[in-house]
Structure 1
Amino acid sequence: MTAVGVAGQSAEQDFSSRLLESSQTLSYDPITEIDWDGPLPEDQYGLSPEWSTLYGTPLWDELTEQQRVTLTRHEVCSMMSTGIWFEMILQQMILRDQYVKNPANSEFQFALTEIADECRHSIMFARICQKLEVPAYLPSKLVVELARGFKTLATGEVAYGGTLVAEEVLDVVQRDFMRDDRVLDVVQTSSKIHVVEESRHMKFAREEIKEHVQGKSKLQRHFSAALIAVVAYVIVSSLVSPKVYDSIGMDRKRAAAAVRDNEHRKSLMRNGCAGLMEFLDEAGLLTRPAIALYKRVHMI
């Protein structure tokens, strides 16, 4: 191995070691951090109302305050259900990537630490949905089946790129939830936990992406860029299920039409995803076909 290669490996190990140290000093146990027996005040939202899919539309103005509260609780649980679904996918991809690698390496150990974090996050989300008495909102059957293929075949920058996109999108919205006193305490606290711990996961994913794209041909990078964009399109499209509108007795088609025309939400998404797009561009993973997909879900 060349001196450059050894130096690169050493830098990667140092980076993973710092993430491991961070996880040891700044991690949370949702079982003890969240007040699971606390009340659910009737006037508190499930998420910041500005992040509701209908906020800023005439339909939002038609809703009573109680309908708005109910809708946002179902919307946040839809996001959490989607989060659980994708966290299970990324755990399998990380395990496969680390299969039979040197367990003494800090990269290997942090990868397992991330999986442990994701397991706690999924249980945390599941318990919140249970406490709010909201049903599981899962992606469509087609998306679920396509995801089986993705989690089985995705490797390298595609696997970590899909992971990064999912984590970044949730991070964008939860940074607002955790600071908003209008939002239920269980959601505020879970958002804080998720934001703090996912920040390490996103750093890890970014480093893995940069490592894997090194030496890739232009054709390979374009192919990877397209696949990552497809994953982003599916995740963002699946984040809030159309079924949530049943909770307030609203016609799904009418609500979906309002969401498609909601310029407020589009603007929030574009602003929130600016950093992600900048990183993908620097990594050579923001091609014209990819940009076209990102624009369809208003990430750019």
Structure 2
Amino acid sequence: MAPTARSTASPTATGPAAALRDREEVATRLLAASDRHSFDPDKELDWDAPFTDGLWYWPPELVSLYDTPLWRRMSEEQRILLSKHEASSIAAAGIWFETILMQLLLRHIYDHAPTSGHARYALTEIADECRHSKMFARLITTLDTPLYGPTTVDHHLARFLKSFSTTPGSFTGTLLCEEILDWMQRLVFPDERVQPLMRGVTRIHVIEESRHVRYAREELRRQMLTAGRAEKAYVRGLTAEIARVVMRTLISPRAYAECGIDPKAAMAQARRSPHRRETLRASAAKLVAFFDETGVLDGPASRAVWRTTGLLAGRG
């Protein structure tokens, strides 16, 4: 099922085909960028520096309860504490996502020549994701919070999703996990209200993930052009379900409880929050447009599931 090592769009191609780039050319550029801009978080970041009182761990506007009735009743200290626990929850979700992604990348290159640039870049990305997972794990330890993560149901559901994902489904899942978090983290690392360690972690992640997004987008274009009708339908349904799992995993209800907030009330207010809905839609806007372009969102059934995530509100 894996495409050949080299594939170039026809010079007369139109639509999505016209946007294709030679796979090996893309890989060569990404490998060169990896050589120039890769980081060792253990050496790059000051893990022993104390946290600064009064600084946030996540920008307040990105905290799930921002501008809700609960938020307005919380003290500044409790709001900052919630930002800490939500940042830790997102880091734990990131480890889970990247563990799955590494398995999917290995499956993707199983039938590719290991000497190809395409396969070599996939291995380079896996090495990046290993460092990111270790970085997030060390961050959670440094934050001194509980280890959050998916529910038991979602943990086992992911076994099914990753085991039965087709190649294009693997890349839609990759983009769902990476692009939404990337949008948020681009707001974190330049924000001087945020703890320096959090800004350093997100800066490293954003720089290295930008290459991963390019790789996944290029390959998804190629895969969706060659996939058959049945596979495309499966990918649409699978992607919609992955979107639902991703969105309910980012903020663990336990994070609210750790801050002295009733989880049920907090989850209800976050779901109803106009600010939160707009934030989530903004985080996925570019991704939704790309999925529209490549046909991942085609069909009313797929769009109906997407609307339950809050990422597709207002679309047809």
Give the TM-score normalised by the residue count of structure 2.
Answer: 0.90
Question: How far apart, in 2, do the equivalents of 1:221 and 1:114 lie?
Answer: 26
8 Å Cα contact 1:280/1:286 also seen in 2: yes
Question: How far apart, in 2, do the equivalents of 1:221 and 1:151 lie?
Answer: 16
Q: Does 1:200 align with 2:225?
A: no
8 Å Cα contact 1:97/1:155 also seen in 2: no
Q: CA deviation at 1:100?
A: 4.8
More displaced stretch, 13-22 vs 251-260: 251-260
Q: Which residue in the other structure is 2:279 paired with?
A: 268
Mind listing any 5+ residue stretches in structure 2 that lack a counterpart? 1-5, 10-19
In the alignment of these two chains, the number of paired residues is: 296
Structure 1 residue aligned with 2:293, among 278, 282, 291? 282
Q: Which residue in the other structure is 1:251 paired with?
A: 262
Q: Does 1:170 align with 2:181?
A: yes
What is the CA deviation profile of residues 123-163 of structure 1, one whole-angstrom value per residue up to 9, with x for unaligned ones? 11111110110111011101000111222221210011101
AA partner of residue 152 (structure 2): K
Q: CA deviation at 1:10?
A: 8.6
Identity across aligned pairs (percent)? Answer: 38
Question: How far apart, in 2, do the equivalents of 1:84 and 1:262 lie?
Answer: 27
AA partner of residue 278 (structure 1): A
Question: How far apart, in 1, do the equivalents of 2:180 and 2:187 lie?
Answer: 12
Q: Which residue in the other structure is 1:212 paired with?
A: 223
AA partner of residue 269 (structure 2): A
Q: Which residue in the other structure is 1:298 paired with?
A: 310
Question: How far apart, in 2, do the equivalents of 1:23 and 1:78 lie?
Answer: 28
Mind listing any 5+ residue stretches in structure 1 that lack a counterpart? none
Classify 1:279/1:6 alpha carbon distance in 2 versus 1 (closer, same or farther; 3 Å): closer
Q: Which residue in the other structure is 2:63 paired with?
A: 52
Structure 2 residue aligned with 1:23, among 34, 45, 52? 34
Q: Which residue in the other structure is 1:231 paired with?
A: 242
Q: Which residue in the other structure is 1:127 paired with?
A: 138
8 Å Cα contact 2:284/2:311 also seen in 1: yes
Give the TM-score normalised by the residue count of structure 1.
Answer: 0.95
Q: CA deviation at 1:220?
A: 2.8
What is the CA deviation profile of residues 20-50 of structure 1, one whole-angstrom value per residue up to 9, with x for unaligned ones? 0011011111112111111101211110000
Matches within 5 A, 1:10-159: 11-159=22-170
Question: How far apart, in 2, do the equivalents of 1:146 and 1:272 lie?
Answer: 24
CA RMSD for the aligned pairs? 1.5
Q: CA deviation at 1:80?
A: 0.5
Question: How far apart, in 1, do the equivalents of 2:268 and 2:224 lie?
Answer: 39
Question: How far apart, in 2, do the equivalents of 1:10 and 1:44 lie?
Answer: 44
Question: How far apart, in 1, do the equivalents of 2:21 and 2:250 lie?
Answer: 38
Classify 1:37/1:292 alpha carbon distance in 2 versus 1 (closer, same or farther; 3 Å): same
More displaced stretch, 63-72 vs 10-19: 10-19
What is the CA deviation profile of residues 149-188 of structure 1, one whole-angstrom value per residue up to 9, with x for unaligned ones? 2222212100111011100111011111111111111111
Q: CA deviation at 1:299?
A: 1.2
Q: CA deviation at 1:101?
A: 2.4
What is the CA deviation profile of residues 186-218 of structure 1, one whole-angstrom value per residue up to 9, with x for unaligned ones? 111111111111011011111111111123234
